[in-house]
Chains A and B, each alone.
Chain A
């Protein structure tokens, strides 16, 4: 072989490289396959070289194989290098693209400031409303307790075998012995804690006594609730059993009322006059399980016997045990435990999660559903905006795609934009939600005290972010699908008219409007139903006259008023003084003053009925009243007479219309006999009168619930409240509050309420629900109207030329207007029809929230639809007017 001068040798050729390069780039790098191609080429070249030297092909191949040897190791090395390199490049490329997409998105959203602001605001409203609502639901229903393993916490009580009167949750607490039996034997319960609250007068030294709430607990309650004293110690089991007077202050009370005085720990406070040694301070985080147990000021040991009447139970289920199974075990233990009380026989144990006891759970579920609909409408609106924008950007996308941007790349771009948009909406939503929550908490009616502690927390923020991501993906994907449907060519060819969007896109937008209208109809009809319900409650005949009526319930501390005689003596003195008060017109006594209920336990037996089987127990609404009760309350006796004011009254009873109808549907109740059988016995009473139904427990309660009235006498089990009819307003409340202290200065202030105010507050929940749902419906309608307006205005703008031509050809303005209007109204009507069907199904959620109104109330359905149509027509006016203002000459010259 000759020596070749490198300077003169022909360099390897590469002129065609460029063509191939562009073509192959398109498919991206292919690592191992490329390498194999390269090696195969090398082999072929070698074979060619040998053949050129005169070998046959077979010889050449053999020689090549011999020369190359085993290339496996080399191949492996090369593949490893390539793979590493490709991975690195993909990563950098992704980051590059992301940064680029973000920058592009910010620029492109910034270019259309108005558009972006509307989209972000719409999302912020939708997301904000949801995050505020979720905060409430999360706090009250999902995480009502801060106890360890809160998901296994349940209230434990007894329910009569025959149940309680409709709509009333009555918790019967078992006696102390059964609680002990459960504590000792129930394996399905990890822990069982009895607790009680009492209101007391608390004073330090010679200071002025003030009302305070004592929480009575066992020492183990601290561990149960996961709290320890921040100062001092908790009382011991021994102290609790021995009834030593020791207590721990709650931190808030300690700081606010006693200036966080450490010297107090070890000192004494007087509770209803009795000295109690303070041994520590408990953090405020220690709370009783139910929100209406109230804030405790002082923690003291519970005395299972003395506190039996106020006692409540809270349990923690053992891991993996279902409430049903636990209830069965508790029932079995109750049946086996030979406790003295007959009580156990007629009851079943009932475990109830704290969330189920939230008074307005139904409203919360309803409102959550409503707020989700608002979010849907907000999303639909943003989708409109995006579609309109997509139409406007079709040319831009087409050009970019023609310049070589791949479908994936464009898709990512659209997705980045919509995610950016929804994250901005999410941030706005957090602000809106925070503000809404503040407003909600501030505006809460007193009756909904549970709302006070609601805050936005981590899980709310998480949910908000999740909504943002979901909406962002939704928008991005739908936008991209739309973009993909429109071919590049079409868009480019169509020139300026390309922005007119296809019929399909128009249909998608109309469909969005129709669904918005449907969702709005559901909300409007629901709001209408609630409005009707509240209006029904406001005008409902409650059966008695609450005006100028006051109740006075003294709180007699069990420690000092041990005998019935002492109580009776106190009461007669109190009655005497109240009667002497100026402005007092009348006074009566009742065990169940308005807004409270008392029950008799047992089975109701009519004259002639067989004896009820042993062990059947029901709660019978019962009111033990003085004979002037009906007159003072203003309840009519519709049949028969009032109690005769003699000793005979003890054997007499009065029933309300509800009970008369239930027990003697075919005839008069007068003269019939009934008795309440409890533990196998009960005295017969003769019915002397039928009283009109009265909603004394609150306007939302059904007045038709059967009620039995008995005549009050001082030996009765019930200690009655005083019912006073007086003129004078607020001063009466003050005077009544002071009067108990005049009789006994050591008494905690009595419960005094103006019945009219109290009755009104029972409307707080339905009214608040209605108000919130009304706000949601208003927001929804406003959003939907904007959506409808947007679609019509867009269509008019798009058809300006067409309208111009038609007008020039002689179409009347009226006809053009009618066409635009009917296009809008068609969407509204379709939406309303779909919405009415949905509302018919959806209003089932309202079942527990409606009073005196059918779920199918035609007025609410018609009213909701009417409001929708009126607002929709208003939304159509501007686009129609714009269409009418089209000047054919100008319109036709455009483009």
Chain B
């Protein structure tokens, strides 16, 4: 699986970031760890894509960042969702769910049963 763990479908990283932040504000490492833990390390978040994604989303007004203190008492930049971000999350969530269902149907359906 390791080889495929780096593969992200376009847009899925953004969605996962939004979802992660919907629980609570988090810093970049926190977001990466959360996604890795949730997927049991199936998905590895590339730092090279994570941070540009965060900055892009911040620029687009989906998330905002503030400096704060991390759980181990270090200065860290925390991201949280904005109203626009929440709206975007709902829209992407619905879309992704339909898309995933559709994909799994294609994968799970054999010609005979059709």
Which A residues contact B (CB, under 8 angstroms)?
A: 1-4, 6, 9, 11-14, 16-21, 24, 34-35, 37-39, 41-42, 44-46, 48-49, 68-71, 73-75, 77-78, 81-82, 84-85
Q: Are B67 and A71 in contact (CB under 8 A)?
A: no
- Rounded to whole angstroms, the CA-CA distance of A17 and B74 in the bound complex is 11
- In the complex, which residues of chain A have a beta carbon less than 8 angstroms from the beta carbon of B71? 12-13
- Rounded to whole angstroms, the CA-CA distance of A69 and B46 in the bound complex is 9
Q: Are B25 and A12 in contact (CB under 8 A)?
A: yes
For this complex, 14 residue pairs linking A to B, each with C-beta atoms less than 8 Å apart, are A1-B41, A6-B23, A12-B25, A12-B27, A17-B78, A19-B69, A21-B68, A34-B77, A39-B47, A41-B75, A42-B29, A45-B29, A69-B47, A81-B59
B68 to chain A, nearest CB (A): 3
Contacting A at CB under 8 A, from B26-43, are 26-30, 32-34, 37-38, 40-41
Q: With A81-B56, A85-B59 in contact, do A21 and B67 touch (Cβ < 8 Å)?
A: yes
Choose one: A6, A16, A49, A71; the contact of B38 (CB below 8 Å): A6
| Total CB contacts across the A-B interface at under 8 A | 116
Q: With A21-B68, A44-B74 in contact, do A14 and B25 touch (Cβ < 8 Å)?
A: yes
Q: Are A74 and B28 in contact (CB under 8 A)?
A: no
Which B residues contact A (CB, under 8 angstroms)?
A: 23-30, 32-34, 37-38, 40-41, 47-49, 51-52, 54-56, 58-59, 66-72, 74-78, 80
Beyond the given A38-B28, A77-B52, please list 11 additional residue pairs across the A-B interface where CB-CB is below 8 A.
A1-B37, A13-B71, A14-B78, A17-B78, A20-B75, A38-B51, A41-B27, A45-B70, A46-B29, A78-B55, A84-B59
- In the complex, which residues of chain B have a beta carbon less than 8 angstroms from the beta carbon of A82? 55
- In the complex, which residues of chain B have a beta carbon less than 8 angstroms from the beta carbon of A85? 58-59
Q: Are B59 and A9 in contact (CB under 8 A)?
A: no
Choose one: A12, A17, A38, A78; the contact of B52 (CB below 8 Å): A78
Q: Are B68 and A14 in contact (CB under 8 A)?
A: yes
Q: With A17-B67, A37-B75 in contact, do A4 and B38 touch (Cβ < 8 Å)?
A: yes
B47 to chain A, nearest CB (A): 5
Q: Are A42 and B47 in contact (CB under 8 A)?
A: yes
Q: Are A11 and B37 in contact (CB under 8 A)?
A: no
B43 to chain A, nearest CB (A): 12
- Rounded to whole angstroms, the CA-CA distance of A35 and B48 in the bound complex is 13
- In the complex, which residues of chain B have a beta carbon less than 8 angstroms from the beta carbon of A3? 38, 40
- Rounded to whole angstroms, the CA-CA distance of A50 and B83 in the bound complex is 36
- Rounded to whole angstroms, the CA-CA distance of A42 and B55 in the bound complex is 15
Residue from A4, A14, A18, A24 with most neighbouring chain B CB atoms (10 Å): A14
- Rounded to whole angstroms, the CA-CA distance of A49 and B30 in the bound complex is 12
Q: With A24-B67, A81-B56 in contact, do A74 and B47 touch (Cβ < 8 Å)?
A: yes
A522 to chain B, nearest CB (A): 62
Q: Are A20 and B49 in contact (CB under 8 A)?
A: no
Q: Are A68 and B37 in contact (CB under 8 A)?
A: no
Q: Are A17 and B69 in contact (CB under 8 A)?
A: yes
A713 to chain B, nearest CB (A): 104
Residue of A nearest to B44 (CB): A67
- In the complex, which residues of chain A have a beta carbon less than 8 angstroms from the beta carbon of B75? 20, 37, 41
Q: Tell me the dominant secondary structure on chain A's binding face.
A: helix
Residue from A12, A41, A42 with most neighbouring chain B CB atoms (10 Å): A12
- In the complex, which residues of chain B have a beta carbon less than 8 angstroms from the beta carbon of A84? 59
Q: Are B55 and A12 in contact (CB under 8 A)?
A: no
Choose one: A4, A14, A44, A69; the contact of B24 (CB below 8 Å): A14
A652 to chain B, nearest CB (A): 106
- Rounded to whole angstroms, the CA-CA distance of A548 and B59 in the bound complex is 94
- Rounded to whole angstroms, the CA-CA distance of A82 and B51 in the bound complex is 12
Q: Are A20 and B68 in contact (CB under 8 A)?
A: yes
Residue of B nearest to A84 (CB): B59
Q: Are A41 and B70 in contact (CB under 8 A)?
A: yes
- In the complex, which residues of chain B have a beta carbon less than 8 angstroms from the beta carbon of A18? 68
Q: Are B47 and A71 in contact (CB under 8 A)?
A: yes
Residue of A nearest to B50 (CB): A74
Q: Are B48 and A71 in contact (CB under 8 A)?
A: yes
A245 to chain B, nearest CB (A): 84
- In the complex, which residues of chain B have a beta carbon less than 8 angstroms from the beta carbon of A17? 25, 66-69, 78
B63 to chain A, nearest CB (A): 13
- Rounded to whole angstroms, the CA-CA distance of A78 and B80 in the bound complex is 18
- Rounded to whole angstroms, the CA-CA distance of A21 and B79 in the bound complex is 12
Q: Are A48 and B72 in contact (CB under 8 A)?
A: yes
- In the complex, which residues of chain B have a beta carbon less than 8 angstroms from the beta carbon of A37? 75, 77
Q: With A1-B41, A42-B29, A84-B59 in contact, do A9 and B51 touch (Cβ < 8 Å)?
A: no
- Rounded to whole angstroms, the CA-CA distance of A38 and B68 in the bound complex is 11
Choose one: B23, B66, B74; the contact of A41 (CB below 8 Å): B74
Residue of A nearest to B31 (CB): A12
A339 to chain B, nearest CB (A): 85
A323 to chain B, nearest CB (A): 65
- In the complex, which residues of chain A have a beta carbon less than 8 angstroms from the beta carbon of B72? 45, 48
- In the complex, which residues of chain A have a beta carbon less than 8 angstroms from the beta carbon of B54? 78
- Rounded to whole angstroms, the CA-CA distance of A77 and B28 in the bound complex is 16
- Rounded to whole angstroms, the CA-CA distance of A717 and B16 in the bound complex is 113
- In the complex, which residues of chain B have a beta carbon less than 8 angstroms from the beta carbon of A24? 67
Q: Are A12 and B37 in contact (CB under 8 A)?
A: no
Residue of A nearest to B57 (CB): A81
- Rounded to whole angstroms, the CA-CA distance of A11 and B58 in the bound complex is 20
- Rounded to whole angstroms, the CA-CA distance of A68 and B47 in the bound complex is 6
B22 to chain A, nearest CB (A): 10
Residue of A nearest to B24 (CB): A11
A90 to chain B, nearest CB (A): 15
- Rounded to whole angstroms, the CA-CA distance of A20 and B73 in the bound complex is 12
- In the complex, which residues of chain A have a beta carbon less than 8 angstroms from the beta carbon of B24? 11-12, 14
B67 to chain A, nearest CB (A): 5
- Rounded to whole angstroms, the CA-CA distance of A46 and B33 in the bound complex is 9
Q: With A9-B37, A82-B55 in contact, do A69 and B69 touch (Cβ < 8 Å)?
A: no
- Rounded to whole angstroms, the CA-CA distance of A362 and B29 in the bound complex is 81
B24 to chain A, nearest CB (A): 3
- Rounded to whole angstroms, the CA-CA distance of A574 and B26 in the bound complex is 115
Residue of B nearest to A85 (CB): B59
In the A-B complex, the 5 residue pairs with the smallest Cβ-Cβ separation, listed nearest first, are A17-B68, A11-B24, A16-B69, A12-B30, A12-B26
Q: Are A81 and B69 in contact (CB under 8 A)?
A: no
Q: Are B68 and A11 in contact (CB under 8 A)?
A: no
A76 to chain B, nearest CB (A): 9
B36 to chain A, nearest CB (A): 9
- In the complex, which residues of chain A have a beta carbon less than 8 angstroms from the beta carbon of B47? 39, 42, 68-69, 71, 74
- Rounded to whole angstroms, the CA-CA distance of A239 and B71 in the bound complex is 104
Q: With A41-B76, A74-B47 in contact, do A21 and B66 touch (Cβ < 8 Å)?
A: yes
- In the complex, which residues of chain A have a beta carbon less than 8 angstroms from the beta carbon of B59? 81, 84-85
Residue from A1, A6, A75 with most neighbouring chain B CB atoms (10 Å): A6
- In the complex, which residues of chain B have a beta carbon less than 8 angstroms from the beta carbon of A6? 23, 34, 38
B64 to chain A, nearest CB (A): 11
Q: Are B52 and A74 in contact (CB under 8 A)?
A: yes
- Rounded to whole angstroms, the CA-CA distance of A35 and B78 in the bound complex is 12
- Rounded to whole angstroms, the CA-CA distance of A35 and B69 in the bound complex is 16
Residue of B nearest to A75 (CB): B51
- Rounded to whole angstroms, the CA-CA distance of A77 and B23 in the bound complex is 27
Q: Are B48 and A69 in contact (CB under 8 A)?
A: yes
Q: With A16-B69, A24-B67, A34-B77 in contact, do A77 and B55 touch (Cβ < 8 Å)?
A: yes
Residue of A nearest to B28 (CB): A42
